[in-house]
Amino acid sequence: MSDEIPFHIQENIIKRLPVVSLLQFRSVSKAWKSLIDSSKFIAAHSVTQAEHLLLSYEEPPQMLLSYEDPVKTETKYVLLLDDDSFPQQRFHYTLPLSIKLLKQSCIIGSSLGVLCFHCYYEEEEDFCTNLKSEMVLWNPSIRKSIDVPVPKKFNPYHESNLGFGVCPLTCDPKIVEITLFHKPRFHCEAKVYTVSSRKWRNFTSNLPSKPFRVFYPHVVVDRFIYWCAFDPMTMDNGLPNHNLIMSFDITNESFGVVDLPDSLRRHPPLQLCVSKVRESLVMLEYDSYMKGACGVWMMENGVVKSFIKLFTVEAPNWSRTIKTLGFRRSGEPIMEVEYRYDDSSEQREVVVYEPNSGRFTDLEMYGANETFSVNSYMETLVMLDRSDCNIEAEVDGF
């Protein structure tokens, strides 16, 4: 690029280039490398990429599907392009060593091109067994991962759930933990970890006004992390269910509540699940614990308690249960179906459901356990300005 072009114009042009090109252009000059590696540029480029992907139908979105290969007994990660070629174009990812070393690891969330892996394992010290937890953040586009140890000891009187998201303003990855304590009284506590600080912080304000039990999975829409939640006091006192959606604003680190229509508010809580279609919040309503049918509700224009039911998916005749893993851009759900192929064995496969025709399309991915997951994915520079390292996390209150 000519030196006669002002540098701020060069920056505006570079900001619109794909990640692969930017990684190459870092070697063009010191000025370009300094620009591309800066936190300000990384945030601006990532937001531009997200907005372009949302508004443009020319560039296909991507999704990362993981499943346990029943033959090789290993977890595979496959990148699928959500375009006319779906699902023929498949790109297999090789995990970094930091994730391979984690036993029984799984993706708990994705945001702005960063995947968050989580793993529990037992560690013996002085003849005592402690339940430990470890997390890894990985950006496949730039081949960078960061380890986040989470020291935790098992406590039968509390239950915790995690959420992960990248702040759209600063591109700082954040992990939030919500814990519901049963004794000596029902109450909630929360901690947040930020990559920029390499530290866990206890919340002292902005906590939910009432104790709520949140449960996996969560979903990130815009700047919010959402979980299904319910008031445990109603269940313990034999009152009608009080379901809701708990939100966490990644930008200002505040909690909020999304109220549900009466039919969803009173539904058995463990038969509800949050998801999203593009950048719209979706609630999944299963008919029973066996999950023979799934109703899909979408929030209208971000209005609280304004959900419309789009359609209901009935399990096919050859399947026992169904589970919605995610959605294509078109709104077609990607689903896991379970069936028996003899008197004793069970198998699961991934299919796409077409609401208009009611037809299921097999993606030819099979597993023996509930190991399938689908996460939206996009290429970004998030964490480019961070070094690959094992972070010795500081944790307030431990």
Which pLDDT score, from 0 to 100, does residue 391 have? 43
Give the pLDDT confidence of 336-345 residue by residue, as tens digits: 998 766 555 6
Burial of 280 per CB tally in 10 Å (0-12, 13-18, 19+):
middle
Residue 132 predicted with pLDDT over 60: yes
3-state secondary structure string across the chain: CCCCCCHHHHHHHHCCCCHHHHHHHCCCCHHHHHHHHCHHHHHHHHHHHHHHHHHCCCCCCEEEEEEEECCCCEEEEEEEECCCCCCCCEEEECCCHHHHCCCCCEEEEEECCEEEEEEEEEEEECCEEEEEEEEEEEECCCCEEEEEEECCCCCCCEEEEEEEEECCCCCCEEEEEEEEECCCCCEEEEEEEECCCCEEEECCCCCCCCCCEEEEEEEEECCEEEEEEECHHHHHCCCCCCEEEEEEECCCCEEEEECCCHHHHCCCHHHEEEEEECCEEEEEEECCCCCCEEEEEEECCCCCCCEEEEEEEECCCCCCEEEEEEECCCCCEEEEEEEECCCCCEEEEEEEEECCCCEEEEEEEEECCCCCEEEEECCCCCCCCCCCEECCCEECCC
Q: 48-94, pLDDT tens digit by residue? A: 888 777 766 666 788 898 887 766 667 788 888 888 888 888 888 88
Task: Give the model's pLDDT for residue 24.
Answer: 92
Rg of the chain over all Cα atoms, to the nearest angstrom: 22
The structural domains of the chain, with segments of one domain joined by +, span 7-52, 53-395
The residues near 12 (Cβ < 8 Å, ≥ 6 apart) are: none
- The pLDDT of residue 368 is 66
Give the pLDDT mean for 103-108: 79
Question: 396 pLDDT band (50/70/90 cuts)?
Answer: very low
Q: pTM for the full model?
A: 0.87
Q: How far apart are CA 265 and CA 232, in angstroms?
A: 13
- Enumerate the β-bridge partners of residue 338: 321, 348
Kindly report, residue by residue over 246-265, the tens digit of the pLDDT: 999 999 999 988 989 888 98
For residue 395, pLDDT over 80 is answered with no
Identify the architecture of domain 53-395 in CATH. 6 Propeller (2.120)
pLDDT of the residue at 216: 86
pLDDT category of residue 228 using cuts at 50, 70 and 90? very high
Would the pLDDT of 2 be above 60?
A: no
Residues with Cβ within 8 Å of 110's Cβ and at least 6 positions away in sequence, in order, are 64, 116, 164, 220, 375, 376, 377
Mean pLDDT of 124-133: 54
Q: Are 231 and 186 in contact (CB under 8 A)?
A: no
pLDDT band per the 50, 70, 90 thresholds, residue 303: low
